[in-house]
């Protein structure tokens, strides 16, 4: 029977080593997860900045009008595709069932979404299903003429650097009265309790709150003059 040598591990020593490794993993995993989420947030913000360029390009080529969230051609993604500012993975068909190409409008932190119409999950936004979007437009500045509201002009946004243009949500639009609720228009803090927000001057930033959810807040109502704003 072989006797234990100086270089042999006893059971107790082995358990100690395993315990130390487990502690190290427990300490390192949160840091690795945070680093991964930070990378996703950066990718998400880059996408929002690209969207800002696209939305500004639309206004520049359409007499300064802000893109409506819904038009005769469908949702705002459909409109961008029609005018050549956003490409889908296939031609615009009557059913419009295609993914958005190049991961435009895609947030890597968003889990696959189930469309209430198609009853299946989608990893990428589907243009025809507005409940699979990863970003939604601020409905107060991206008004819908089909609903009887005049389309805004970009030059009539009084403080574009303070006004939300697009936020992280799972619907095509969002607004202050529902941004904190659990419904379809809810805005999501996907990145470790932070959200990336696109503003109407084209810049994007990360925030951990949306301010006061009021229809007289500058963040939401860039169309209102200063004397009608109660929350800045």
Question: CB burial class (10 A; 0-12, 13-18, 19+) of residue 19?
Answer: exposed
Provide the pLDDT for residue 49: 93
Provide the pLDDT for residue 6: 54
- pTM (2 d.p.): 0.80
- Provide DSSP, 53-79: HHHHHHHHHTTTBPPPSEETTEEHHHH
Provide the pLDDT for residue 92: 44
Provide the pLDDT for residue 210: 81
Strands 164-168 and 173-174: unpaired
Angle, alpha carbons 183-186-188 (nearest 5°): 135
- Quote the CA–CA distance of 173 and 220 in Å, as a whole number: 12
Distances from the Cα of 41 to the Cα of 22, 138, 163, 164, 167, angstroms: 29, 20, 21, 18, 13
Provide the pLDDT for residue 97: 46
Provide the pLDDT for residue 119: 77
- Quote the CA–CA distance of 68 and 172 in Å, as a whole number: 11
Residues of the chain with pLDDT under 70: 1-9, 87-104, 177-184, 232
Provide the pLDDT for residue 96: 47
């Amino acid at each position: 029977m072989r006797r234990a040598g100086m270089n042999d591990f006893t059971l107790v020593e082995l358990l100690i080593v395993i315990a130390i490794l487990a502690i190290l993993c427990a300490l390192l995993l949160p840091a690795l997860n945070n680093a991964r989420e930070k990378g996703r947030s950066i990718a998400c913000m880059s996408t929002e900045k690209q969207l800002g360029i696209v939305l500004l390009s639309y206004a520049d080529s359409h007499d300064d009008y802000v893109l409506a969230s819904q038009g005769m051609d469908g949702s705002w993604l459909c409109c961008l595709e029609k005018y050549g500012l956003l490409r889908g993975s296939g031609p615009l068909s009557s059913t419009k069932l295609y993914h958005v190409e190049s991961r435009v409008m895609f947030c890597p932190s968003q889990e696959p979404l189930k469309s209430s119409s198609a009853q299946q999950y989608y990893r990428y936004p589907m243009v025809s299903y507005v409940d699979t979007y990863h970003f939604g437009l601020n409905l107060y500045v991206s008004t819908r003429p089909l609903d009887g509201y005049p389309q805004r002009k970009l030059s009539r946004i009084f403080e574009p650097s303070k006004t939300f243009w697009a936020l992280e949500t799972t619907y095509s639009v969002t607004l202050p009265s529902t941004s904190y609720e659990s419904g379809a228009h809810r805005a999501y803090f996907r990145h470790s309790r932070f959200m990336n927000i696109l503003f109407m001057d084209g810049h994007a930033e990360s925030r951990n709150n949306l301010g006061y959810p009021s229809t007289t807040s500058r963040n939401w109502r860039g169309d209102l003059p200063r004397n009608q704003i109660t929350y800045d």
